[in-house]
Amino acid sequence: MRRGFGHAAAFTDFQRYARLCAKTRINSKFSVKDLLFSPLEKKSVALRIAPGNHLCPRVRYIFITGGVVSSLGKGLTAAALGALLEQRGLKVRLQKFDPYLNVDPGTMNPYQHGEVYVLDDGAETDLDLGHYERFTSGTLSRQNNLTSGQVYESVIQKERRGDYLGKTVQVIPHVTNEIKERLKSAGKGVDVLVTEIGGTVGDIEGLPFIEAMRQFALEVGKQNVAFVHVTLLPFLAAAGELKTKPSQQSVAKLREIGIQPDVLVCRTERPLDDDIRAKLSMFCNVPVRAVIEEQDVGSSIYELPEMLAKEKLDDIVLDLLGLKTRKRPNGAWREIVRKLKKPKRRVTIGVVGKYIELQDAYKSVYESLTHGGIANDCGVTIVRLDAEAVEKNPAKMLAKLDGVLVPGGFGGRGIEGKIRAVQYVREKGIPYFGLCLGMQVAVIEFARHVAKLKGANSTEFDTKSPHPVIHLMPEQKGIKTKGATMRLGSYDCKLPPRTISRAAYGKDSVRERHRHRYEFNNDYRELLTKAGLLIAGVNPGRDLVEIVEVAKHPWFVGVQFHPEFQSKPTRPHPLFAAFIKAAIARHGKK
């Protein structure tokens, strides 16, 4: 049975509570009559505040929503804001809530969703998590990407177990509670948790997430939450002006749900004048200083932190959350942008793939090539090459390139084009970098044309190949379902001396992220190494081949993993940096 202590005890704990709130700079409401303690709470000096009063959390929460249209750049805005807050000395974590019913994007077609971004713990996540990791220092986990599919799956499992004790299971409170629990768990150990809500305000599938945000803000206290709404200001050439009405309607939709945005980030092709800012301020009920201009970047997404800093977005958010921090160092991203805009040299890299018409299909690969350029103060011009077109005339499409990269992928379409591309660059001494499937096609090409194994192939493309140099991993053979069943996540790789990869990494052991079902067939290991293929990296636990190289070639590296998932503009991946360096060397010899 719960009991209250005397007025003196209550007053003492009120003082403790007030001091705690002062430490976290929160003005919380408090009522002495609501103080009730259990023996355990007394022992731990932990307070339970009755319903109706605000909690006193140490974490601040930022919610980023989008309006008018999708693909506005909410993820980049969240990532850039996270970068600015980190520069102020705060520990920041970012996460994404996706309203679609898929459990994760792992089984989705790249045309539907772009690339699948893999985390250290094996989570297959939205590509925005790639932006989060590239712009900030944190390493994310599966806790940082929540979908409606995961939410409903968890709720139904709890209902089947009887966790709800016979209650009628509803969107409110059961679904919204599930979402709020993720907010609480993801916020542990950080100063600020930035949560992006996928989709567009008004989408029916996104309503439970928006409602959960509203409830959560009420529970933790509005002074601990900031709502940032990213919206579009279209320019009508016929009228010669930016139009604010779509943004007004988008904010009105949010306010119907019970959320008033604190900041309006306006995606626009043209600068915002004072009149536009004042109009948006009045009709959207947002202070003029909180109407943020976010123009399309000139050359790189890495211009965005400096752009938002000029608009004082970080200052505004910190004021809203009552946080006092150190000053942001000036020009922290300026040197990165300088190397992108005015590099000392430039190379051209061809990416041979099957989804090349879709920008987001190989998003992390393109960004990592850019990072490799930053490491060498070199601009990188990327030429996207369709694998089926390369098959017809590889010389015409590849001869003038400084380097060629074949990214990961699945399925047989375009495979022969990739194999012909590998053959051409191997024979002509053009730097080559193969990622996952790109490593496997390199092994197939070497087996066919150097080791003379006629018909060599992967069992993914030819189950009756006489020489299956790439085959299905043994543990994959009995698997029927597709979702989250591949070799996923971070694994060790040992690097022997005197290899290109060891020189690039500068150490003999690394951990890299994987996403594949097929692997190098060790039955052909001795034969292929005798023919000149170098095994430059091996997983020590299972003796799996992770890296192959070709002897007597300027730079030829194929990796079974995905190094693009661990590259940042501030810390380019060693292999991408070395690849671009090799491309520079080739360019200088032309």
Active site residues: 436, 562, 564
Residue in the block written with tokens 């995961």: 150
In whole angstroms, give the CA distance from residue 438 to residue 419.
9
CA dihedral 519, 523, 529, 532 (to 10 degrees): -70
182 burial class (0-12, 13-18, 19+ CB within 10 angstroms)?
A: buried
Q: Which among 443, 550, 538 is positioned nearest to 494, based on CA atoms?
A: 538
- How many CA atoms lie within 13 Å of 147's alpha carbon, on the beta-carbon side? 15
521 near 471, Cβ under 8 Å? yes
In whole angstroms, give the CA distance from residue 90 to residue 486.
36
Q: What angle do CA 19, 6, 38 make, to 5 degrees?
A: 75
Q: Which among 473, 428, 469 is positioned nearest to 448, based on CA atoms?
A: 469
In whole angstroms, give the CA distance from residue 349 to residue 346.
10
Q: What is the DSSP letter of 563?
A: G
Q: Which residues contact 559 (CB under 8 A, 6 or more apart)?
A: 434, 435, 436, 439, 501, 512, 537, 546, 547, 575
Region of residue 489 (phi > 0: left; psi between -120 and 50: alpha; otherwise: beta): left
Q: Which two tokens stand for residue 403?
A: 């380097």
In whole angstroms, give the CA distance from residue 465 to residue 454.
9
* Kind plus residue range of the DSSP H or E element containing 295: strand 291-295
Cα dist. 273→216, 276, 277 in Å? 35, 5, 6
Q: Which two tokens stand for residue 315?
A: 């200052």
Residue in the block written with tokens 């008018």: 68
